[in-house]
Structure 1
Amino acid sequence: MPDHHPSHAEEAAPTRPRRTPLIIKDPPDRRLTALWILLGLTWLIGTPASLAALLFNTMDATLHPAAPGSTAPLTALRTSLAALLLTGLALPACAAATAALTRRPVPALLFTAALALTATPLLLTVTPAELWAALTTDLTP
């Protein structure tokens, strides 16, 4: 058998480039994305709303003293303080921990920043000991 020598036309013909498939990761689960959005909106709306409720209830309790034996002002203060602590501290802390455990770096970073944005002014205003005392002694019925 004679050896096949390529002609000039075969040598000049462009060779087809090799194509390797590009592997694209699946997008994250939409339910998780919806969860992060819902938690972020809850923090974004709930924290200022509960802070405003706490401020207004405090002003109302100091400007308009309640009748003796009435627990309505303390109940309103307790509710607004609990809402502030839940939406401002507990929600971003739990969301950041959940995001870190599920290996979602962007939500973990954002909820850690949200926790820092909420906790810093709160803890600069009220010391943790005073906050604990308000929760355990002053606001208990």
Structure 2
Amino acid sequence: METAEITTSSREQTLALAADFARALKGGEIVFLRGPIGAGKTVFVKGVAAAMGLKSSPTSASFSLMKEYKNKTRRLFHIDLFRLEEGEVFNLGFEEMLEDEEAVILAEWPDPIRHMLPADRLEMDFILKEGDERVIRLASFGRVSHALLEALCKAAKK
């Protein structure tokens, strides 16, 4: 496991970081996003989707649990498990999503699927600070996710 911390000071900076991150995505990546409501998780997902060239702008998936965004070449699954318990996730089709090597999975509130976690994943913890400042703690578990962690750290230094 490798770890790092990144600080963003505005919504725009979080969106820019997400856009740079999206350029490192090839498909098959799994990213878990944690943090309190309003911490910037969905903003980050919006930035990733926009940079992937996906037309629809993601909104909080809390009420639909899972949303799929795609174009001719890219697919993004945005999962929000805020109100679910571990035994309630089987009807989401998460296992099928894991088998899709072309799709990127961004999951908010991922604890109910912890038992289904692939070995190689990136975990992001969004921590609210004063004003619009956020600290994003990163932990990579595997070769692919470590490359994503490095891409995020490089983007943050711009």
Indicate whether the TM-score tops 0.5: no
Normalised to the residue count of structure 1, the TM-score between the two structures is: 0.27
Per residue, is there more helix in 1 or in 2?
1
Per residue, is there more strand in 1 or in 2?
2
- Larger CA Rg, structure 1 vs 2: 1
Normalised to the residue count of structure 2, the TM-score between the two structures is: 0.25
Structure number with higher relative contact order (C-alpha < 8 Å, ≥ 6 residues apart): 2
